[in-house]
A and B are shown apart, each in its own frame.
Chain A
Amino acid sequence: MREYLILRVITKLLFPFILLFGLYVQFHGDFGPGGGFQAGVIFAASFILYSMVFGVQAAQRVLPDGILRGAIAGGLLLYALVGVVDLMLGVNYLDYSPMLTNPKDGQHLGIFLVELGVGITVASVMMTMFFTFATWREE
């Protein structure tokens, strides 16, 4: 796609705003529509758009396979470990209330961390799928 100047310029213009919107959806999910699933997909969409116009290699310089694979497991582990921390604090799995002194703040922190884990796993799975599909060749 080296010859499509307009696509390249528009992609460069849109890329930071899509990322910003993804982060907004991620961290504003408590107050408005949104959350980890949507934010992860939007975040992945920005990198997929970039790699469709500038090539998968360009996108993989920022997010190589190793980092994405780590993030796939890391997001899920973050979610599960929040539950383990709750067990350590002496309550049921994924009951966030005692994580901070005020139970409401604890719920806020727990939901924030859990949604972050969801977002990380969803974004990295979507990007891994696209990168794998786009670079796959029959032996």
Chain B
Amino acid sequence: MAEAVDIIILALMTVTVIGIVVIRNLLAVVMLSGIYSLLAASIFVAMDAVDVAFTEAAVGAGISTVLFIATLALTTRIEKKPAHKPLLPLFVCIVTGAVLIYSSLDMARYGDPNSPANRHVATYYLENTKKDTGIPNVVTAVLASYRGYDTLGEVTVIFTAGIGVILLLGSWRRGLKTPNPHPEDEA
């Protein structure tokens, strides 16, 4: 049953990706990429990774779709026809895909308790989180406490992205204090 759900979601993701490649209307492409993220979130739920699914649904399906639409309002809605034949990119994609599938044959089975990922530090976290931090959600304990440095780095990345947008497009460049009179028409 679980396999059937996985196969259906993965098939829908494949169809969505083909739609993204074929369609030239960028608004439709943005909508399809939002649907793709939602399907990815469903796969994560099916794999019991609710925290990751939550992030994928909120960031991938939610905010990035809105930011893409806001970007389209600044640029254009129709993709230009490519100047070259797509044969070389197609070749690169097929070779990369083949290498990835070949290497996936060596991957540990999903949920295998003897795989290196599950034998290294994961058991330590699962056994000691309650004792060390008293927090029921191991993911939060790993993210904020055991791996606090990494999360600090991630927040710094988001901080840098925000600073970059302000520096490149911020209102200080225009030297204007008042925003545009009718911004909601485009938003």
- Which residues of A are interface residues toward B (Cβ below 8 A)? 1, 25, 29-38, 41-42, 44-45, 48, 51-57, 60, 65, 69, 72-73, 75-76, 79-80, 83, 93-94, 96, 103-105, 107-108, 110-111, 114-115, 117-118, 121-122, 124-126, 128-130, 132-137, 139
Q: Are B159's CB and A125's CB within 8 A?
A: yes
Q: A65-B171, A130-B70, A133-B74 given as contacts; is B162 within 8 A of A72 (CB)?
A: yes
CA distance in complex: A71, B166 (Å): 13
Tell me the dominant secondary structure on chain A's binding face: helix
Tell me the dominant secondary structure on chain B's binding face: helix
Q: Is B158 an interface residue (CB 8 A)?
A: yes
Q: Are B135's CB and A107's CB within 8 A?
A: yes
Q: A133-B67, A135-B171 given as contacts; is B179 within 8 A of A35 (CB)?
A: no
Q: Are A118's CB and B135's CB within 8 A?
A: no
Identify which of A54, A79, A110 contacts B145 (C-beta below 8 A). A110
Please give 18 more A-B residue pairs, beta carbons under 8 A apart, in addition to A79-B152, A132-B170, A135-B183.
Answer: A33-B139, A35-B51, A42-B58, A45-B58, A45-B62, A45-B66, A57-B183, A76-B155, A83-B152, A93-B148, A107-B135, A114-B144, A114-B148, A117-B155, A122-B158, A125-B158, A128-B166, A139-B174
Q: Are B148's CB and A32's CB within 8 A?
A: no
Taking CB atoms, residues of chain A closer than 8 Å to B58 are: 37-38, 41-42, 45
Q: A121-B155, A121-B159 given as contacts; is B186 within 8 A of A134 (CB)?
A: yes
Chain A to chain B contacts (Cβ below 8 Å), 12 pairs: A30-B137, A30-B140, A31-B135, A33-B51, A41-B63, A45-B58, A54-B184, A55-B182, A65-B170, A93-B149, A105-B134, A107-B141
- Select the residue from A44, A69, A72, A136 with max chain B CB neighbours within 10 A: A136
Taking CB atoms, residues of chain A closer than 8 Å to B183 are: 55-57, 134-135
Q: Is B55 an interface residue (CB 8 A)?
A: yes
Taking CB atoms, residues of chain A closer than 8 Å to B161 are: 125, 129
Q: Are A33's CB and B137's CB within 8 A?
A: yes
Taking CB atoms, residues of chain B closer than 8 Å to A79 are: 151-152, 155
Q: Are B67's CB and A107's CB within 8 A?
A: no
Q: A94-B149, A137-B180 given as contacts; is B133 within 8 A of A104 (CB)?
A: yes
**Shortest Cβ gap from B4 to chain A (Å):** 25
Q: Is B50 an interface residue (CB 8 A)?
A: yes
**Shortest Cβ gap from A43 to chain B (Å):** 10
